[in-house]
């Protein structure tokens, strides 16, 4: 290359960098050492780019959770004890057939507060079993029952099948909590990625239908918009394990262009977020969804909703639930559990205060 061509190439790169800086777009951040190990393990599993596959083939590809298991085996890391949480499985009636649910119960007598949880996977791939570490960690850390839902997936069941199943599961938990030693007055909702979308969409649906709201929502890098010009989409367009092309593929299978305007598909489209439950919003630095998660948190706050928001540096989409190998995941799991515990304490406090105001002794007879 001649000196002149080299100079021109460098000049172009400088102009691009300046343009990106002016728009608030940074280059893709560097993963932490622990996160890089997981990414290397995922790459070694030899998965194909999901956006090039059919949904059936995509569901056979290795997931980040598989990489965590491979890394643990390679480094001799013992699997976390499963004895602190028991899991039972059942099917509940849904709007179009049975919905599988999985009930994670911590040790103790109960009744326990309840978290209704939805897994990620872009509405197309994955199921609760692939995200088992997350509901298990939250059940143990917060001392709550977690009900995880295997909602219908696209493209076999396009929008609004998933939110319809999610809302049906919420109604079932409200009606049947006592049957699995849960407290029907202490129900929160949460999820990761597409599951975070479903969690806040259920809140919108309950608000719009004048149904009792969850006491709290935990939104872990939620899918809430389809604006791919946001800074994190530009900075992380080719990130792993989630990138821009994959999100385009997921959206293409989940909802049509008209459906994508509906707030129950993408809650950023809602005319108002007022009246929704307090929220915990968790985002990851190396994630196309980071900017929209932060924007959603800001919009909730502007709408009068209390929000606790935390961004984790050096980690990618799907980091939550990787506590066995990732310090940031342990921190995020602890943060989410603490926010849930705080929300449930507030519910109990209000209940006790209401009982006292009505002249009712809130202390059980056997404790008086």
- So where are the chain's domains? 44-357
Name the active-site residue from 130, 165, 183, 193: 193
Tokens read off for 197: 């979308």
Read off the pTM.
0.91
The residue among 306, 119, 298 whose CA lies nearest residue 196 is: 119
Whether residue 40 lies in the annotated active site: no
- Count other C-beta atoms under 10 Å from residue 90's C-beta: 14
Residue pLDDT, tens place only, 323-352: 999 999 999 999 999 999 999 999 998 888
CA dist 197 and 123 (Å) reads 10
Q: Produce one character per residue of 216-226: b if its CB has 16 or more CB atoms within 10 Å, e if not.
A: bbbbbbbbbbb
Tokens read off for 193: 């990625």
Q: Is 80 exposed, middle or buried, given 0-12, 13-18 or 19+ CB atoms closer than 10 A?
A: middle
pLDDT of residue 354: 75
CA dist 132 and 136 (Å) reads 6
Element (H, E) at 10: helix 3-22
Name the active-site residue from 130, 164, 225, 287: 287
Whether residue 216 lies in the annotated active site: no
Q: What is the CATH number of domain 44-357?
A: 3.40.50.1820
Residue pLDDT, tens place only, 75-114: 999 988 888 999 999 999 999 999 999 999 999 999 999 9
Contact of 71 with 41, CB cutoff 8 Å: yes
Contact of 223 with 300, CB cutoff 8 Å: no
- Count other C-beta atoms under 10 Å from residue 229's C-beta: 9
CA dist 104 and 128 (Å) reads 11
DSSP helix/strand/coil, 255: coil
The residue among 150, 210, 142, 209 whose CA lies nearest residue 182 is: 142
CA dist 215 and 167 (Å) reads 15
CA dist 70 and 286 (Å) reads 22
Contact of 188 with 114, CB cutoff 8 Å: yes
- Count other C-beta atoms under 10 Å from residue 15's C-beta: 10
Name the active-site residue from 119, 216, 253, 317: 317
Whether residue 130 lies in the annotated active site: no
CA dist 16 and 24 (Å) reads 12
pLDDT of residue 13: 39
- The CA distances from residue 115 to 25, 137, 146, 366, in Å, are 36, 12, 5, 28
Tokens read off for 249: 């593929």
Residues of the chain with pLDDT under 70: 1-26, 361-368
**Cα dihedral sign, 122-123-125-126:** positive
Contact of 305 with 298, CB cutoff 8 Å: no
pLDDT of residue 9: 44
Cβ neighbours for 288, distance < 8 A, ≥ 6 positions apart: 228, 232, 233, 236, 237, 239, 242, 243, 244, 247, 317
């Amino acid at each position: 290359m001649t000196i002149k061509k080299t100079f021109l190439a460098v000049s172009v790169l400088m102009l691009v960098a300046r343009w990106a800086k002016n728009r608030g777009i940074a280059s893709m951040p560097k993963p932490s050492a622990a996160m890089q190990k997981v990414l290397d393990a995922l790459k070694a599993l030899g998965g194909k780019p999901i956006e090039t596959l059919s949904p059936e083939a995509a569901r056979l590809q290795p997931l980040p959770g598989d990489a965590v298991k491979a890394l643990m085996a390679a480094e001799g890391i013992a699997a976390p004890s499963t004895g602190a949480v028991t899991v039972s499985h059942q099917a509940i009636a849904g709007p179009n057939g049975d919905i599988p649910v999985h009930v994670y119960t911590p040790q103790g007598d109960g009744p326990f507060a309840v978290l209704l949880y939805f897994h990620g996977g872009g509405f197309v791939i994955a199921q609760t079993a692939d995200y088992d570490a997350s509901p298990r960690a939250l059940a143990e850390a917060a001392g709550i029952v977690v009900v995880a839902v295997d909602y219908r997936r696209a493209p076999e069941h396009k929008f609004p099948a998933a939110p319809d199943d999610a809302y049906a599961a919420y109604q079932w938990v409200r009606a049947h909590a006592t049957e699995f030693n849960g407290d029907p007055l202490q129900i929160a909702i949460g999820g990761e990625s597409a599951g975070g979308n479903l969690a806040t969409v259920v809140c919108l649906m309950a608000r719009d239908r004048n149904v009792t709201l969850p006491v709290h929502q935990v939104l872990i890098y939620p899918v809430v918009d389809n604006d791919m010009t946001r800074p994190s989409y530009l900075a992380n367009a080719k990130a792993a394990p989630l990138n821009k092309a994959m999100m385009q593929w997921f959206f293409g299978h989940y909802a049509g262009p008209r459906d994508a305007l509906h707030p129950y598909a993408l809650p950023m489209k809602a005319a108002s977020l007022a009246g929704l439950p307090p929220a915990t919003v968790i985002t990851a630095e190396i994630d196309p969804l980071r900017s929209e998660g932060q924007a959603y948190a800001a919009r909730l706050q502007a709408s009068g909703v209390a929000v606790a928001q935390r961004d984790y540096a050096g980690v990618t989409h799907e980091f939550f639930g990787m506590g066995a190998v990732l310090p940031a995941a342990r921190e995020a799991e602890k943060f989410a559990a603490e926010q849930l515990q705080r929300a449930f304490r507030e519910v109990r406090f209000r209940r006790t205060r209401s009982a006292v105001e009505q002249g009712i002794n809130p202390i059980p007879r056997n404790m008086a």
